[in-house]
């Protein structure tokens, strides 16, 4: 559902994606993934097999009623519902994704039945525009403020605790958080991706009205960015560990998992809807995610080639003379 903000923008949204490794020794088969994501009785789990297997749960709504601060420091009240869903990519990576459309509300709080008629929409009462709130949202650390990340974390925790999983992951990479805002207006495409700390990333998007982007499409774009950022965070850490140890001391178990289960998931833009591809083009230009990924993959191949050469040399040295 779209909502018009009070500053003339067609659509203003905020959200957060949490991404991590599924708590299972091996990737899940498609049927098991569909069972895992069957979170809303009677609603269909959406799945696809190509080019990378991906499954998305139905939306779950969460009511919110909390204070917010605008970019100028004004305080508003946010009342409505956030839409949350879970995704599993390649049977291996899990994501919790929560989003909300920000629109101008009235001067007083209305019955919950009013807000439930607009799923995934949060109304703002008070002084300040939705775009100002979205700008401040990326840097907010107020525990009482709007926090879609907490909902996303609950989605991930629910899946990670499922009895369907064996809870024996091959390694324990860090989870990442992508907090994002999107404003649709007449100014064209812009994207600012920032590494805020070891876990938190922010993505500020400006989308041209001509793209006719829906809230679900914008969420899919951000989930795609979050997935590839997690891969670019996780895989190099394993590669650094494997390549940085002395000969004979390296444990290649995690590197083997990365090669077998994660490398083939790198396909940026696969889940970016038509009309939003320019955002990925800009991210590829700066910071250049695929350039970083390609360098990492080349390092893996070089390391394996060197390791093979060392093993051959050791084998030759161990053969008896004559």
Determine the pLDDT at residue 244: 66
Backbone angles phi, psi at 19, to 5 degrees: -130, 135
User: For 111-115, 297-301, 309-313, which range has the lowest pLDDT when averaged over its residues?
Assistant: 309-313
- Is 254 in contact with 171 (CB distance < 8 Å)? yes
Summarize the confidence of residues 153-173 as an average pLDDT: 93
Short-list 180, 198, 10, 163, CA closest to 95: 180
Determine the pLDDT at residue 91: 96
Determine the pLDDT at residue 76: 87
Does this model's pTM top 0.95? My answer is no
Write down the domain spans for the chain: 11-214, 231-318
pLDDT over 50 (residue 201) = yes
Determine the pLDDT at residue 249: 44
pLDDT over 50 (residue 1) = no
In order, the DSSP letters of 28-77 are PPHHHHHHHT--STT-PPEEE-SSS-EEEPPPEEEEEEEEEE-TTS-EEE
Of 74 and 125, more confident: 125
User: For 14-18, 44-48, 270-274, 316-320, which range has the lowest pLDDT when averaged over its residues?
Assistant: 316-320
251 pLDDT tier (thresholds 50, 70, 90): low
Residue 259 DSSP code: I
322 pLDDT tier (thresholds 50, 70, 90): low
pLDDT in tens, 103-159: 988 888 899 999 999 999 999 988 778 888 888 889 877 777 899 999 999 999 999
> Across the chain, what does the average pLDDT equal?
86
pLDDT over 50 (residue 289) = yes
| Cα gap 77→306, rounded to integer Å | 60
pLDDT over 50 (residue 2) = no
Determine the pLDDT at residue 313: 64
Determine the pLDDT at residue 3: 42
């Amino acid at each position: 559902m779209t909502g018009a903000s009070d500053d003339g923008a067609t659509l203003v949204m905020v959200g957060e994606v949490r991404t991590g490794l599924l708590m299972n020794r091996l990737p899940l088969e498609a049927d098991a993934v569909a069972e895992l994501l069957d979170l809303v009785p009677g609603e269909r789990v959406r799945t696809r097999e190509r080019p990378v297997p991906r499954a998305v749960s139905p939306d779950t709504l969460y009511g919110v009623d909390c204070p917010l601060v605008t970019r100028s420091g004004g305080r508003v009240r946010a009342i409505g519902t956030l839409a949350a869903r879970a995704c599993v990519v390649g049977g291996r990576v899990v994501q919790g994704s929560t989003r909300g459309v920000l629109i101008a509300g009235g001067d007083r709080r209305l019955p919950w039945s009013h807000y439930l008629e607009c799923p995934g929409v949060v109304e703002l009462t008070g002084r300040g525009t939705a775009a100002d709130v979205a700008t401040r949202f990326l840097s907010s650390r107020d525990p009482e403020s709007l926090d879609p990340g907490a909902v996303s974390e609950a989605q991930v925790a629910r899946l990670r605790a499922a009895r369907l999983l064996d809870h024996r992951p091959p390694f324990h990479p860090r989870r990442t958080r992508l907090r994002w805002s999107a404003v649709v207006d007449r100014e064209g495409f812009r994207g600012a991706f920032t590494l805020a700390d070891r876990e938190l990333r922010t993505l500020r998007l400006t989308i041209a009205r001509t793209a006719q982007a829906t809230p679900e499409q914008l969420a899919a774009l951000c989930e795609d960015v979050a997935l590839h950022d997690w891969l670019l965070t996780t895989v190099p850490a394993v590669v650094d560990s494997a390549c940085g140890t002395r000969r004979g001391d390296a444990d290649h178990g995690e590197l083997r998992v990365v090669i077998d289960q994660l490398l083939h998931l790198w396909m940026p833009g696969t889940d970016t809807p038509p009309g939003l591809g320019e955002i990925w083009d800009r991210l590829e230009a700066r910071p250049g995610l695929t350039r970083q990924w390609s360098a990492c993959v080349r390092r893996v191949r070089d390391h394996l080639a060197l390791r093979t050469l060392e093993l051959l040399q050791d084998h030759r040295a161990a053969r008896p003379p004559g």
